[in-house]
Structure 1
Amino acid sequence: MTDDIQDRATLDHVLVLAPYRRDADYLRQLLTEHDLDVRICSTGSSVTPFLEASPGVLVATHEALNPEVVSAVGAWLATQPGWSEMPIVVLLDRSSQQARVKAALVEAWPRARQIFYQRPVTPVELVSGIQAAFLARLRQRDVRDHIDREIELRRELNHRVKNILASVTSIFEMTRRGADTLEGFSGDFRGRLRALSDVHSAVFQADGEAVSIQEIVDLTFEPYRLPGHDRFATGGPPIMLNREAGTTLALCLHELATNAIKYGGLSAPSGQVSFTWGVSGDDVWSRWEETGGPPVVEPSRQGYGTRYLRSALTSLFGQAPVITFDRHGLICEVRGLQSRVSRNS
């Protein structure tokens, strides 16, 4: 299930704790009439499995609040993530010591948003309160999604910045080794940094214009090329990409180049990279292959870069890439319908 479907299957139901059948039946009928999904935990049933199903709202009658249930709910609340503040609607008896009960529950359930009603309560008031609790729960979920997305964006930004710095460091070292004078070094280094920036300007700010694979390839690899010692062999037919496809391809090539500089074919002086592409029927394909670097060993776990490549290329081409950790050099191959990436898609 997707996260959204899973949320609807869990957070969007009411768990009713009611030991008396008449209360359970009444609450089920009332809430069901207002299109609320209701699950009942009655006397003799353990509340823990019901809580683990992550209800959106918990409704408990006064009679259900025995020490075992209060303790079980408190233990479950303690395991909830920081974004979660469980709405709990408590139906208190008129004759009970309400202030005492409320104080005890606030202490036992600090991670809950508690709403108290004195019975008898009108159906309209009760349903309105539960629906309001549902809206609060959904807002909590929105906050959770925002936090998760922000964390992911920070991780991606951190990864991108590290890769850019690694690229700049590599460009610096390559330029330094080939420079005879400080003036020559300064000019070459400045030019390569400008070329690194060009790919961002040409692709990431294309404003909907199409861009050719060849242009992306040239701009992406230009900072790493040295006069008389081109370590990139590239080639393929003219293919125009839409902006989204061009952006994704540029990011993936930058990811592969950075990885090759750090660990692969471009980490050794004699290393080479081949990037080719073509059209076969309705499909477009590409192949990245490294040679001349240190022996390749498949990593024990996928890093962020590999996860990004798999996800981005699968989304772009509609098929997962084949990444081979051949001992002679990394190989990354992918293919998919040309209509997914062309300027007219």
Structure 2
Amino acid sequence: MNARAIESELDWVLVLAPFRKDADYVAAFLREQKVGVKTAKAGDDLIPHLALSPGLIAITHEALNPEVVARIAEHLAVQPDWSEVPIIILLERAAPIGKIRDQLERAWPGSRLLFHTRPISPLELVNAVHSNLLVRLRQRQVRDSIERERELRLELNHRVKNILASVTSIFQMTRRGADTVENLANDFTGRLQALSNVHSAVFEAGGEDVSLSEVVQLTISPYNHNGASRIKANGPEITVSREAGTTIALCLHELITNAIKYGALSVHDGTVDVSWSIIRQDRADFTLNWIESGGPTVREPSRQGYGTRYVRAALGSLFGTPPDITFAPDGFRCSAQAPLSRITPQRQQ
């Protein structure tokens, strides 16, 4: 952190000096050194000043009357755990420092006491002020780190709960559609891998959104190997929310699974085209298409399997309307359309 950045973050100083224009003298000198200052003199009500939370208090020996000591004690008593307010006490040379220190340590347990005798050179005073304002800055940085760590723990807990809920849901749906233990294991593993791929992509992207192209490529790449590209993907670069990316990946996985079992990917020459586009008219609409070709003649099943039910429900929930699923003789097709705003991160809307 450079000097200018530190200076902009430093707290201000409250000067309590009732006599001999000491408050004006100290304040004027500190302002020359670009330090923020407020002063309080004899008879001033300290409560409004302390309510503004000064980063450091500089107080002369003459200001240490019972009322001032009590007001500062009340202020220190409500400080958070991270806060240890620096207080510079400017004493007369003949003052009983030991006795005063003992009294103030008992009265102000939540403070950082520093004693200087007068006369004090301007350089010594400004060094003491600056060094303790830096201490105060470090205290605030520690506070910010603790709060950020707490936020991260809460966010991690939230994400883990969401992931576990997703895994539980995937297992229950897979179990209902499985006819053997082996099929259950294979299908469940594949769906977890699809879920894992999206979470990896989001993590690497460093945020709550991810490239749709990356989601699609991660999902289809295990099925395009040895130089063959039986599943082709094409569409504009677009950033989608983590929820949208996860849903689309899981739906693509289900469509791929069905194509391997019954559709275009069940034969050597069959192919699949995955495409998406953005249509801009009165509003921006997003369209996602899955088209199979070169596979066996398609016949509409007498009842919907798990994959079809999941795709219909998941895309319907994400897009707001169910997808158009067609069992065309020359190839299975699935098309879904929705306002672009339903799948993009909130800040882009």
Q: Which runs of 5+ in 1 are unaligned?
A: 221-236, 258-275, 293-308, 318-334, 336-345
Q: 1:291 to 1:278 in 2, by over 3 A?
A: closer
Classify the secondary structure of the residue corresponding to 1:110: coil
Distance 2:242 2:200 in 1: 11
Superposition pairs of residues 255-270 of structure 1, within 5 angstroms: none
Superposition pairs of residues 204-243 of structure 1, within 5 angstroms: 204-205=203-204, 213=212, 216=215, 238-241=235-238
1:278 maps to which residue?
278
Cα offsets for 1:272-326 (capped at 9, x unmatched): xxxx98353798666945579xxxxxxxxxxxxxxxx9xx9344x1xxxxxxxxx
Q: 1:206 to 1:71 in 2, by over 3 A?
A: closer
Q: 1:71 to 1:204 in 2, by over 3 A?
A: same
- Aligned pair count? 253
Q: 1:24 to 1:202 in 2, by over 3 A?
A: closer
Q: 1:205 to 1:26 in 2, by over 3 A?
A: closer
1:74 maps to which residue?
73
2:134 maps to which residue?
135
1:101 maps to which residue?
100
Cα offsets for 1:159-197 (capped at 9, x unmatched): 111111110010111011111121211111111111111
Letter of the structure 2 residue corresponding to residue 97 of structure 1: P
TM-score (norm 1): 0.64
Q: 1:79 to 1:253 in 2, by over 3 A?
A: farther
Classify the secondary structure of the residue corresponding to 1:75: helix
1:27 maps to which residue?
26
Distance 2:244 2:124 in 1: 56
Q: State the superposition RMSD in angstroms.
A: 3.6
- Deviation of residue 216 (structure 1)? 3.1
1:250 maps to which residue?
242
Cα offsets for 1:1-46 (capped at 9, x unmatched): xxxx9x958x621110111251111111111111111101111111
- Deviation of residue 202 (structure 1)? 4.2
Classify the secondary structure of the residue corresponding to 2:83: coil
1:313 maps to which residue?
345
- Deviation of residue 143 (structure 1)? 0.9
- Deviation of residue 145 (structure 1)? 1.4
8 Å Cα contact 2:197-2:215 kept in structure 1: no
- Deviation of residue 53 (structure 1)? 0.9
Classify the secondary structure of the residue corresponding to 1:240: coil
Distance 2:285 2:95 in 1: 74
1:297 maps to which residue?
none
- Deviation of residue 75 (structure 1)? 1.3
Cα offsets for 1:46-70 (capped at 9, x unmatched): 1111111111211011111111111
Q: 1:172 to 1:35 in 2, by over 3 A?
A: same
Distance 1:109 1:16 in 2: 17
Letter of the structure 2 residue corresponding to residue 25 of structure 1: D
8 Å Cα contact 1:24-1:40 kept in structure 2: yes
8 Å Cα contact 1:16-1:59 kept in structure 2: yes
8 Å Cα contact 1:13-1:36 kept in structure 2: yes
Distance 1:255 1:80 in 2: 47
Cα offsets for 1:240-291 (capped at 9, x unmatched): 14xxx45xx225655999xxxxxxxxxxxxxxxxxx9835379866694557
Letter of the structure 2 residue corresponding to residue 32 of structure 1: R
1:325 maps to which residue?
none
Percent identity between the two aligned chains: 48
8 Å Cα contact 1:212-1:239 kept in structure 2: no
- Deviation of residue 212 (structure 1)? 5.3
Letter of the structure 2 residue corresponding to residue 152 of structure 1: E
Distance 1:177 1:217 in 2: 27
Q: 1:314 to 1:77 in 2, by over 3 A?
A: farther
8 Å Cα contact 2:235-2:277 kept in structure 1: no
Q: 1:163 to 1:14 in 2, by over 3 A?
A: same
Which one has a bigger Cα radius of gyration? 2
Classify the secondary structure of the residue corresponding to 2:345: helix
Letter of the structure 2 residue corresponding to residue 239 of structure 1: P
8 Å Cα contact 1:91-1:116 kept in structure 2: yes
